Amino acid sequence: MSNRVGVLAIQGSFSKHIESLIRSGHPENQIAEVRTPNDLNQVDRLIIPGGESTTVGLLMQHVGLDKEIPNRAKNGMPIWGTCMGMILLANEIEDKTQFSLNLLDITVRRNAFGAQVYSFETQLPLNGLDEPLEAVFIRAPIVTRIGPEVKTLATYQDKVVAVQQGKIIGTSFHPELTNDTRLHEIFLAL
């Protein structure tokens, strides 16, 4: 069976996710940059990387990915959103009326740890992993409400920073900026 991974390549840290997928042992010819609905139809799973959620949301609507990504999710496509990607997957964004895909039954708060100067790295315990994960937080969101179908995968200082609902994962942090590929491997196995 094919396991082509798409990485949304409109803006943000998409190249780092591609590098992490390759480091995790996924064949480079099974990784594709996704910019259009046609690109999306060539892949079996999708990573939505970090970036600027308002801008990327507008661009997704412009090219039609705002409709196609939810269609694929309804048909079982695994999707993982990191930082901005988690914001775009959320049902609700605190104090914002911006576009989202409404695929994760969560509410998020943008920039919950403050401006970029307050970025940090930490060793983060994650459900399902024996050893903590190296996690990089950059203007990271947190989850402030979780729906009944959503599992918490990780918390930092009692704040929810990683969740899963079915085949959809959201993380506040950027594992693609570390050498630890375990979360990419978990996503590839979904």
pLDDT, the chain, mean: 94
Residue positions annotated with a catalytic role: 83, 174, 176
The C-alpha atoms of residue 4 and residue 144 are separated, in whole angstroms, by: 33
Look at residue 133 in the predicted model and tell me its pLDDT. Answer: 95
pLDDT in tens, 125-149: 999 899 999 999 999 999 999 999 9
Write down how long the chain is. Answer: 190
The C-alpha atoms of residue 126 and residue 76 are separated, in whole angstroms, by: 24
Is 16 in contact with 175 (CB distance < 8 Å)?
A: no
Angle, CA of 82, 87 and 91, to the nearest 5°? 130
Look at residue 95 in the predicted model and tell me its pLDDT. Answer: 86
Look at residue 89 in the predicted model and tell me its pLDDT. Answer: 97
* CATH label of the domain that carries residue 21: 3.40.50.880
Predicted TM-score of the model (pTM): 0.95
Q: Which domain holds residue 142?
A: 5-189
The two most distant CA atoms of the chain are separated, in Å, by 44
Residue 54 confidence class, pLDDT cut points 50, 70, 90: confident
Is 7 in contact with 43 (CB distance < 8 Å)?
A: no
Look at residue 116 in the predicted model and tell me its pLDDT. Answer: 74
Look at residue 121 in the predicted model and tell me its pLDDT. Answer: 95
Checking if the pLDDT of 105 tops 60, the result is yes
Q: Give residues with Cβ within 8 angstroms of 173, minimum separation 6.
A: 82, 83, 124, 135, 136, 137, 140, 161, 162
Look at residue 122 in the predicted model and tell me its pLDDT. Answer: 95
Number of folded domains that form the chain? 1
